[in-house]
Amino acid sequence: MTISFDTTQILIGGRWRAAGNGETIDVINPSTGEEVCKIGRGSAQDIDDAVAAAEAALNGEWGKMSATERGRVLSNISVKIKENEDELAALESLDVGKPLKQARTDATAMARYLEFYGGSADKVMGHTIPYADGYTVYTLREPHGVTAHIVPWNYPMQIAGRCIGGALAMGNTCVLKPSEDACLSLLLFARIAEEAGLPKGVLNVVPGYGAEAGAALTAHTGVQHISFTGSVGVGKMVQKAAGENIVPVTLELGGKSPQIVFDDADIEAALPFLMGGGIHNAGQTCSAGTRIVAQRGIYEKLIAAMTERYEALEVGPASDDLDVGPLVSEKQKNTVNDYIKYGVDDGLTVAAEGYLTANCPEKGSYVKPTLFRDVPYQHKLAQEEIFGPVQVVIPFDTEDEAIKIANGTEYGLVTGVWTKDGGRQMRMAKAVKAGQIFINNFGAGGGVELPFGGIGKSGFGREKGFEALYGFSVLKTVATNHG
């Protein structure tokens, strides 16, 4: 495809320009292994400039806008995202290897985030509090000020949509540091936001490496809130940096989400979700339901049904729009293949694999989807986030055992429970440790309205839904003694 803008430019204070040091990062198409363009390599100086621009914007037109007007700007952005969905999806597909259909879903979801947060901007209210005689007490919800947004490569549009949307709804200004591996769609998003009427300096975008632009942003004393989505290792560094400056941080980290299938489950209804956990976005999803925890009575039937589907899975270039595209990079491909090899060498049984089509170029980052069966729940492949199209099936006998397995990792992001038994549905929802529990579904179609976040090593704080707006604002209590 021909890209319609200069991808090396970064956005600071409403001005597109080269990164300060003039350096760039190569963008590789994971479907072919070929370079497609370059992006700017933002430096600490660029971050300084971006934070200064975001500070200035707080005191300009944006700071004076009513919540309703802010909401209208966000709604306009949403409309323009929809108008540009084709280009956004094509860019994402080129950049990270997502099959086109899946990239389009992400563009639609980003538009929906802006629509939802546009509509909610003027609906966040404080309270009046009954207090002592002679007092009137009320609370206000105010913006933090300059907010930092660091996003990963797996869902750039969805993740930027949710955190930028929430932050803007509450009147903050933003500095966005996209992943060095996935930034093209977000550069276009920033251009769309400008066109939709977002005032200059409200959204600044500085692409670059995590250790450079990312670290400079999280350490910056001008930042009043950090929203980080990424790995546990980097999350720890971000939390330390936030601690140094005593600023609030939301950490949306990894997962190893279970889908628990009881004997009485509607297996036909469950199958698309069980499969989706492994193959959607080639398994590169924080909330991917990659641990299939299946009760003994349904176990063989489930393995047989998943085997049949795995063996039909086609892997190919993003533009072929098959079940599974390449992984985001050669590095990610090697990491995932190392996990598969480790499992096989350690004696695990491969139940089924998908296949690579003849169209897969040699230098693309393709991995065969792989389903392991009879995996002990303490095994490395059942404990660690693989971030590729690999699933493990773990058998269990009793409800208590299912709970122990579900809660038996250091993560707690999402859990799916498949059962027709109403009592069991309630017991499982309470017993399982995760930020979201889905009963007889998994993910509820993404639901931007649904608060999302982890416990344990999956992080803390909530994004998505109305709940996120509390995180993106500061509560102020006003107590007036009027006698």
Q: Which residues are catalytic?
A: 252, 286
184 sits near ligand NAD (criterion: CB under 6 A): no
- Sheet strands side by side (includes 15-18): 15-18, 9-12, 203-205, 173-177, 146-150, 225-229, 249-252, 459-460
Residue 165 or 214 having the CB closest to ligand NAD = 214
177 sits near ligand NAD (criterion: CB under 6 A): yes
In this structure, the number of other CB atoms found within 10 A of the CB of residue 76 comes to: 18
- Kindly give, in sequence order, each residue whose CB lies less than 8 Å from that of residue 401, ignoring residues fewer than 6 positions away: none
Give yes or no for a contact between 119 and 111, defined as CB atoms under 8 angstroms apart: no
Options 11, 150, 188, 417; binder of ligand NAD; rule CB under 6 A: 150
* CB 216, min distance to ligand NAD, A: 8
| Selection from 165, 286, 160 nearest residue 235 by Cα | 286
From 40-48, 94-102, 212-220, 472-480, give the range in contact with ligand NAD by CB under 6 A. Answer: 212-220
Options 211, 304, 478, 479; binder of ligand NAD; rule CB under 6 A: 211
From 25-33, 193-201, 250-258, 319-327, give the range in contact with ligand NAD by CB under 6 A. Answer: 250-258
From 95-103, 187-195, 223-231, 299-307, give the range in contact with ligand NAD by CB under 6 A. Answer: 223-231
Residue 288 or 298 having the CB closest to ligand NAD = 288
Options 156, 214, 325, 456; binder of ligand NAD; rule CB under 6 A: 214
CB-side neighbour CA atoms (13 Å) of 184: 28
218 sits near ligand NAD (criterion: CB under 6 A): yes
**DSSP run (H or E) holding 302:** helix 296-311
237 sits near ligand NAD (criterion: CB under 6 A): yes
179 sits near ligand NAD (criterion: CB under 6 A): yes
153 sits near ligand NAD (criterion: CB under 6 A): yes
Query: What distance in Å separates the CA atoms of residue 364 and residue 32, rounded to the nearest whole number?
Result: 4
Options 229, 281, 290, 415; binder of ligand NAD; rule CB under 6 A: 229
Options 238, 260, 315, 390; binder of ligand NAD; rule CB under 6 A: 238
Q: Looking at beta carbons, which residue is closest to ligand NAD?
A: 210
Instruction: Report the site for ligand NAD in 267-296 (rule: CB under 6 A).
Output: 286
Give yes or no for a contact between 49 and 16, defined as CB atoms under 8 angstroms apart: no
Residue 286 or 315 having the CB closest to ligand NAD = 286
252 sits near ligand NAD (criterion: CB under 6 A): yes
Residue 418 or 452 having the CB closest to ligand NAD = 452
| Selection from 213, 132, 147, 209 nearest residue 463 by Cα | 147
Options 202, 253, 292, 351; binder of ligand NAD; rule CB under 6 A: 253
From 67-75, 163-171, 213-221, 337-345, give the range in contact with ligand NAD by CB under 6 A. Answer: 213-221
468 sits near ligand NAD (criterion: CB under 6 A): no
Phi and psi based region of residue 33 (left: phi greater than 0; alpha: psi -120 to 50; beta: remaining): left
Query: What distance in Å separates the CA atoms of residue 139 and residue 136, rounded to the nearest whole number?
Result: 10
Q: 466 burial class (0-12, 13-18, 19+ CB within 10 angstroms)?
A: middle
Q: Which residues pair with 481 in a beta bridge?
A: 135
* CB 106, min distance to ligand NAD, A: 12
Residue 39 or 168 having the CB closest to ligand NAD = 39
Q: 270 burial class (0-12, 13-18, 19+ CB within 10 angstroms)?
A: buried
Options 31, 154, 281, 436; binder of ligand NAD; rule CB under 6 A: 154
Contacts of 432-440 with CB under 8 Å at 24 or more apart are 432/260, 432/403, 432/406, 432/407, 433/406, 433/407, 434/257, 434/406, 434/458, 435/462, 436/287, 438/414, 440/265, 440/266, 440/269, 440/270
325 to each of 315, 317, 363, how far by Cα in Å? 6, 6, 13
Tokens 């493990």 locate to: 392
Give yes or no for a contact between 341 and 356, defined as CB atoms under 8 angstroms apart: no
Residues that contact ligand NAD, how many (by CB under 6 A): 31
Instruction: Report the site for ligand NAD in 372-391 (rule: CB under 6 A).
Output: 385, 387
- Kindly give, in sequence order, each residue whose CB lies less than 8 Å from that of residue 288, ignoring residues fewer than 6 positions away: 255, 257, 277, 278, 280, 281
Q: End-to-end CA distance of the chain: give it in Å, rounded.
A: 70
* CB 178, min distance to ligand NAD, A: 6
* CB 186, min distance to ligand NAD, A: 10
* CB 296, min distance to ligand NAD, A: 30
* CB 454, min distance to ligand NAD, A: 6
Instruction: Report the site for ligand NAD in 59-98 (rule: CB under 6 A).
Output: none
102 sits near ligand NAD (criterion: CB under 6 A): no
Contacting residues toward ligand NAD, per CB under 6 A: 150-155, 159, 177, 179-180, 210-211, 214-215, 218, 229-231, 234, 237-238, 252-255, 286, 385, 387, 413, 454, 459
